[in-house]
A and B are shown apart, each in its own frame.
Chain A
């Protein structure tokens, strides 16, 4: 029983560690706080 508990704890620890590595590496990002996407009008390409 203790062996099983140890194995479960080890597996969960490893899963948590891997998840943390994949989730935490990198800078992440900040969602836009205002504004949004606006479609570019086709006329814009003819005026340049």
Chain B
């Protein structure tokens, strides 16, 4: 973790490819650590702007994040698997912030290549999936048997994230029901979810979401795993159409709610955790902490979800808490 890193880095730079909302926040998180950064974005103005906010030891990298040996991929979702493959084959660890199930599947398919190269590939290192999986794993540790996991999300980071959210509502997603993967139509299954703070209640719907796939790796014996994301009526009405207007530069406050249900030492119980946060800030922090964890060594090799990176997710959660990503627990009854 950042607090245990040496005063001067001897492990080389950390790379960030894609300097949108998430990538630039990851860069700002990492500038407080001793490792130099190499950053790249196809947009020259963005590159200059982000570099201007970094240190003198940080510089522009190559389009693939070179010469870094640990690279955060924060480009828009869709091609993370194809981008990561040559990096992994050349001995570079990759942290992907994509939340697209197709990206995550193709990143997890790099497991053998990552093991052969002795590197780590983290799929889904953002707020959701990513932080949500860490919280689910941490909450699940207090259960003797986890039966059911549900995740709800609201809000988006930058424009690329908003476009992905728009697409996710019109595409089917997989949910686990009674131990079987079942395809569910995007935009179906309305459920009113309660988030912490001012977020309050939001209508959430199924979609093309990656959480079930990653949570199933953490809890292979769970019977039911589902994920939903919030949408307004306008989102649902315009779902089949292209986005009618340009998304906001930052989606503003958003959040995640994670429910774990199962059997604990005193019988059946439910643990509910949530967070209200700017998704761009949280996702950048999660990617930065994942990169530091890998860069400082001592993690598993291969391709995996964020919560599989270390045996104890509490270490990363503690570091994220220290950086201002502070979760809450629902105490009470519905």
Instruction: Report which A residues bind B (CB closer than 8 A).
Output: 22, 25-40, 42, 45-46, 48
Contact = CB atoms under 8 A, between A and B. Distances in A.
* Secondary structure class of chain A's binding surface, majority of residues: loop
A35 B332 contact: yes
A29 B314 contact: no
Contact of A33 (B189, B274, B314, B333): B333
Contacts of A42: 318, 321-322, 326
B332 A48 contact: no
- Could you say which of B203, B237, B312 has the most chain A C-beta atoms within 10 Å of its C-beta? B203
A19 B61 CA distance: 52
A34 B334 CA distance: 7
Contacts of A26: 189-191, 203, 205
Given A22-B233, A22-B236, A39-B326, A28 B192 contact: yes
- Could you say which of A29, A36, A39 has the most chain B C-beta atoms within 10 Å of its C-beta? A29
Given A27-B190, A37-B197, A48 B312 contact: yes
A45 B317 contact: yes
B278 interface: no
25 contacts: A26-B191, A26-B203, A26-B205, A27-B191, A28-B190, A29-B192, A29-B193, A32-B194, A32-B330, A32-B333, A32-B334, A33-B333, A37-B197, A37-B274, A37-B328, A37-B330, A37-B331, A38-B328, A39-B328, A40-B273, A42-B321, A45-B314, A48-B138, A48-B312, A48-B314
A26 B322 CA distance: 39
A5 B174 CA distance: 47
B320 to A, nearest CB: 9
B233 to A, nearest CB: 5
